[in-house]
Chains A and B, each alone.
Chain A
Amino acid sequence: MFTTGSKFLIGAAVLATISAIAYGVTQDGVMGTVGLGSAAVALWFLAGVNLFTRDNNYWADEIDSIEAAPAAVRAPANSVWPFAFAFGAAVLAVGLVTYQAVFVIGIVLLLASGAEWTAEAWAQRASADAEHNAEVRDRIANPLEFPLAAAIGVGVVVYAFSRVMLYLSKTNTVIAFAILGSIIIALAFFFAYRPRVPSKAAAVVIGVGALGLIAGGAAAGLSGERDIHPHETTSGLNEEGVDICTSPEEFEADEKASQSVGATAAVAATITLNSDGELTYDLNGPSATGSQGITLPRSNPNNIVFQNRSGEARRLSVSLGTIVEEGTEEEVPYLMCTALVDDGGAQNITVNVALPSITSPDGYSFFVPGVESAQLNLIVP
């Protein structure tokens, strides 16, 4: 007769063998087949050992005992995990032909219920005392179950909140969560000042709240997100054919531009528009100024910080010759620019030029729309 442990190991070995064959036939590459094949060999070996030792209930040399031993000494208690395991397998199978998310849920269910089932089955063999066995099981499983359950709980709450926030408009989100926060604080005060209120009442309130949150999150998630207007960028407008880089006017892309300086440790040069309407530059070295203009390496992202000290909002543009426009195949000016920077503000622009400046008849240059005197040659050797 097959023992309980042997049944498990033989089943796992059969599964691994079939998986190795299926993987080898259907998938490219040998590593998966090697891995599954190795698992199959190991499991068959363990199954054989386990079968020979009769789940280690008897010594191998006690021939009489081995031959006379029953397959199982005690029927296991009722358990929900086999059902959950089977349900997970069904969900996984459904997920294979429907949605990836369902498949993932199936895998999670399968793994979680399998782990619980294994822990429980193992604990039930600890002794003949069911109460002691339950303690053994908790001692092993609880350190994993509690943090995982907490993480899942927090994840559900955050996800549900985020769905509701993304569904409601900005204003309604503020109102809804102000009300919700007030309710939570009011309930907290109520329970704090009324310690005699039965704990079941608090549990019911929390349960109802959790269900409401999940239901709200699910409803909001199914309804989709509100329309979120993407913030325009200078490069985006440039690609759309808007003449932002030659215009001193304000566009939507220019909102809050003075707050967007970053990567100051990697600055290749700082270009400043002064109050006289001239562009000056600093190459991070004291003697780097020259009459010829600013030199930047070719085929390298160069971070340029534009500082506006002119007294009014201005942008820095750079003319990089011409470029062939996709679709029309026409040569159009190749321009890049910062957003409109308030007086006293600064913004970063990254210039990466593949062609040297000699390829442009007029060369490359930095300029400030609306300020004719603000010109600075850009030399790319």
Chain B
Amino acid sequence: MNRRVRIAAVLGLAALAAGCAEDAPQDMFQPAGPNAQSIYDLSVPVFIIAGVIGVIVMVFIAIIVVKFRDRGQAIPDQVHGKPTLEIILTIIPALILIGVAIPTVGTIMALNDTSDTECVINVTGQQWWWEIDYPTQEGCGAGIDEPIVTSGQMVIPIGTPVLVRGTSRDVIHSWWIPRLNGKRDMVPGRVHTNRIEADEPGIYAGQCTEFCGLSHANMRMEVIALTPEDFEAWKLNQIKPYESPEADTLAAAGEQTYISQCARCHQVNGLEDADGAPIVSRPDLSVYSGAAPNLTHLMTRNTFAGAAFNLLSPECRPRVWDAPPDTVGEEYLKGVTPDCLNSVELREWLRNAPAKKPMYADPTKLEATDGLVRGMPNLALSEDQIDELVAYLLERQ
């Protein structure tokens, strides 16, 4: 075996071994629900069939290339037409394709069926984050009596077929949680559905899979699957009334800073002005997509800015993300506590968001969008304002 062949063999084995990575949260070959399982059950035999055929073809090519290589011999007699061989070589691939097509079409149709779903969750993509809202309904466990709006992390009860109804506010995005189902494009003006279901509690990662602009790679999302009891606890927490920070605290100052700097685009449900009127954000006046993440319960999710950054510190993150199924719900519901806050990245974000995540957020260069920003602009906050905001946001539990 010469040196080149040995190098090629080592590289090939290395590539093969890369498929065995354990820390692969977006691995469709580790299905965690019946929808992803049906895709897995289809993909594996199709992959084997295709692989076997590929190997056979390549072996034949290698034999022919070696055996009939040019040695200066005379060109053999040229013949035309071998009807029997041609018919056989047409029928065999056709039969293989039919054999693959029948289960493929069946799986696609089964995945598109939404008649047995028990929970409806709306997902809306925009540059570069996902909004997730729960319409009022009798499904989703004990039902949703008040709409819930969150972002980045979708919380679902395990063992419940969930109907994701997706659309977009600006460009085409694509929703894909590989361990729960295949991908689905989210198109402005259209509603596309995607059913997901998780067998056991856990955090299932995904990211936008349709190129959507500058920060496409930073548009991530997670599905958090909880037991029905934990899901109920999460839901009750999401609809609990707003509590103002205690007077004369840093968080109370942060509330005022929030109102003056953030409430133009971000909504905190229950926040009122001095006259008792609800403070309602108007992102449609500043943001191209017309939306910005709802921050009412920011610290109940553990990522921010399109799930691109961790709200949990590096020390605390494994406590939740690496938790076994029987404790992940409990750990997740603890939210982000002051001792676990990833204040470094949150401060960096508040200091200059476009420097942390590329966005078309420069107000001086927005002729194409009539002055509307894509993403969060640099608000030029002072360090004191950042301290106040961090204290205020920490109470958004």
Contacts and interface: CB of A to CB of B under 8 A. Distances in A.
Q: Do A and B bind each other?
A: yes
Interface of A: 263, 265-268, 283-301, 303, 354-356, 358-359, 379, 381
A294 B135 contact: yes
Interface string B125-154: 000000101011111000111111100000
B278 A268 contact: no
Contact of B136 (A266, A293, A303, A356): A293
The winner among B115, B165, B193 for most chain A CB atoms within 10 A is: B165
Contact of A300 (B138, B149, B169, B278): B169
Interface of B: 114-120, 122, 124, 131, 133, 135-139, 143-149, 163, 165, 167, 169, 188-191, 193, 267, 269, 278, 280, 282-284, 289-291
A295 B147 contact: yes
Contacts of B190: 263, 265-266
Contact of A379 (B115, B136, B191, B267): B136
5 contacts: A284-B120, A285-B117, A285-B163, A290-B143, A381-B147
Where chain A touches its partner, the secondary structure class is: loop
B136 A292 contact: yes
B148 A381 contact: yes
Given A295-B136, A381-B133, A359 B167 contact: no
B138 A287 contact: yes
Given A292-B146, A298-B291, A358 B280 contact: yes
Contacts of B278: 358-359
A205 B147 CA distance: 75
Contacts of B146: 292
A292 B146 CA distance: 8
Contact of B139 (A263, A266, A288, A299): A288
B167 to A, nearest CB: 6
Nearest to A377: B136
A288 B137 contact: yes
B372 to A, nearest CB: 12
A263 B187 CA distance: 13
Contacts of A265: 190
Contacts of A295: 133, 135-137, 147
Nearest to B145: A292
Contacts of A291: 136
A285 B167 CA distance: 15
Contacts of B117: 285-287
Contact of B169 (A288, A299, A303, A356): A299
Contacts of B116: 286
Contact of B189 (A283, A301, A358, A381): A301
Contacts of B282: 354-355
The winner among B131, B137, B146, B188 for most chain A CB atoms within 10 A is: B137
Contacts of B165: 268, 283-285
Given A290-B144, A294-B135, A381-B149, A284 B114 contact: yes
